[in-house]
Every structure is written in C-alpha cells, then in structure tokens.
Amino acid sequence: MMNSLLTPRLAAIDLDGTLLGPDATISAANRAAVARLAAAGIEVVLASGRHVRSMQSYARQLPEVRWLVSSQGAETGRADGSRVLARKFLRGSDVEALMSEEAQRGFTPVYYAADNVFAAAGGNADLDFYAALAGRTPAPAGRAEISRMPLQKIVWVGEARAISALRSDAGLAALGLQGVQTEERLYEFMPRETTKAAGLQVLVDELGMSPREVVAFGDGENDIPMFDWAGFSYAMPHGWKNALARAACTAPAGPRESAFARAVEMLLEAGGGTG
C-alpha cells in the first residue's frame, strides 16, 4: 500500500467532513488519531477553507498542531498566529467583477480578508446558515469599505439548486477565477493559484520536505489539488464523488465522525510513520 510514498513526514488534514464530525466537533476517535500521527513522528497540519481565526479554535484543542493552511490555501502560518509564511489575495479588478456579478444574481456574499470575515448584507437566512456552518458571524462592513480590502476569497451563499448551477456558469468561468462548490449552499471564488496544495508547498519548503512525503486527508472537491500534489491521499467514504475518484484510497465505511480515524488506521497499518 505504501510503495508509492516515502515514509510520510507530514499529514495535511481537512476540517469539515474530515477531522470534524457532522456536529462540527472533533470526536474522541479522531483526536486520538491525530495523537497517533504525531507519536509516529508525522507533522500534523490542518488545511481548510475556513478562515484562520475559525481554524485556530480547533488547533487549540490539538497540541500536536503547529501549522495551519487556511482560506483554501490563501494563508500559511503558525497555528498560534505568531508567524505567517505566505498570504495570497484576489486582484482588485477581480473583486470588482465579482461584486458586479453579485448585484445581478442575488446571492449573499461573504468576504475573507486576512484579519476577519465580512458581509455587507444585513442579517438574512443565508448569513444565518453561513454562521451556523462556520461557527462565527461575519463582521458587518459597507460594500465601499470591503472593495478596498485585500481579499483572500469571496464566498457566495444561496439556495442549493442555484449554487449548484454556478458550476457550469459560462459567464463566471470567463472571469478567469477558480470557482469551487464546497457545501450544498456555498460557492467560493479565489485566484487559480490559490489551493490547499499551493499553501502546503510553502510549508514543505519551509520544513525541508517534499510533496511525496505528505499524506493528505479530505472529503471535498477543494481537496483534490492536495490529493493530486501529495505523495498519498485518503478520502472519507461520505465525501464528494469527484474527490473519492481522485484520492489514492478511501477510508472504510462507518460513522462519519470517526472516518478520519479509520483512514489513519489504514495508513499506519500499511507502514506509514514507521521509519
């Protein structure tokens, strides 16, 4: 099983749908699995679409985690915020183009800046949904203020069918940005070069590792770039169809909240972390 991978030195772990269960908490089984990876000498990194502030609340529960890749790879840095290795932002012209599209389409936008997440809309059902999912309510800001902020990504929140239709929207594709559906009601826009793989590459360069020494765990289409980049990869059995097709392995079936633990068991039984 491990013949295509050097003994892994780093594990990149997605949050929602992977380390986190349906209730957005880390199960005892998954927490123990993180500890097992660290005990095997593997650096444990969280790699998520969440904002760094949201990720830090989970990192504080895991003393093994020193590094975070946040906002789909737009930022790489220390889990305690003491050091940022890299940040990437949308161009101002791209932000203007997306804001113009937002005004015509009726989605509720959420804006990721380096220091916080913002929304120009007043409270509505879309923002309530986002806040429940992200565990934090976006800070209010006017559109003019937001348009002047360096933004890492923009998320549109809306009705599930309308969000899904964006996947084949030719007008949006013409903008030249990367668009990915990350939840039933969320669609995200970033520069094409912003991916979890790119954020992780910054980190492995810092740590003197290679992608072949990385094992990635995830469940969504936003995890595909790191699946393709890493030496080995595990998808959660409940994950998105396209993600399962691109991962090297799929964790055994069972409760969603312990799928990651079962994937770690597969990895360690196959010989990972023994060198």
Task: Check residue 6 and give its pLDDT.
Answer: 61
On whether residue 3 sits in a domain, the answer given is no
- Residue 274 placed within a domain: no
Domain presence at residue 5: no
The mean pLDDT of 109-135, rounded to a whole number, is 94
CB of 203 within 8 A of CB of 147?
Answer: no
Q: What is the mean pLDDT of residues 156-166?
A: 97
CA torsion, ordered 99, 72, 260, 208, to nearest 10 deg: 180
Q: What is the pLDDT of residue 138?
A: 96
Is the pLDDT at 3 greater than 50, yes or no? no
Q: What's the token pair of residue 245?
A: 């097709």
Side chain identity, residue 244: L
CATH code, 58: 3.40.50.1000
User: How would you class 87 by CB atoms within 10 Å of its CB: exposed for 0-12, middle for 13-18, buried for 19 or more?
Assistant: middle
CA pair distance 270, 3, nearest whole angstrom: 9
Q: Which pLDDT band, with edges at 50, 70 and 90, does 258 fall under?
A: very high
pLDDT at 181: 97
6 and 39 Cβ atoms separated by less than 8 Å: no
**Residue 4 banded pLDDT, cuts 50, 70, 90:** very low
* pLDDT band with cut points at 50, 70 and 90 for residue 272: low
Using the predicted structure, report yes or no on whether residue 141 has a pLDDT greater than 50.
Answer: yes
The answer on 147 and 112 residing in a single domain is: yes
CB 153 within 8 A of CB 74: yes
Instruction: Report pLDDT for 122.
Output: 81
Domain with residue 124: its CATH number is 3.30.1240.10
| Overall average pLDDT of the 37-63 stretch | 97
Q: Which of 174, 190, 206 is the last residue in one of the domains? A: 190
CA distance 263 to 105: 40
124: three-class secondary structure by DSSP? coil
Total structural domains within the chain: 2
Question: Average pLDDT, whole number, for the chain?
Answer: 95
pLDDT score, position 270: 85
How large is the average pLDDT for residues 189-205? 98
Model confidence band, residue 229 (pLDDT cutoffs 50, 70, 90) = very high
Both 100 and 55 in a single domain?
A: no
Structural domain containing residue 231? 10-87+194-269
My answer on whether 71 and 186 are in the same domain is no
Q: Which among 154, 175, 190 is the end of a domain?
A: 190
- Final residue belonging to a domain, choices 161, 190, 219: 190
Are 143 and 76 part of one and the same domain? no
Whole-prediction pTM: 0.95
| Beta sheet of 151-157, edge-to-edge order | 139-140, 117-119, 108-113, 151-157, 186-190, 178-183
Does 71 lie in the same domain as 122?
no
User: Which pLDDT band, with edges at 50, 70 and 90, does 274 fall under?
Assistant: very low
204/157 same-domain check: no
In a domain, 4, yes or no: no
On the question of pLDDT at 123 being above 90, the answer is no
Q: Are residues 247 and 113 in the same domain?
A: no
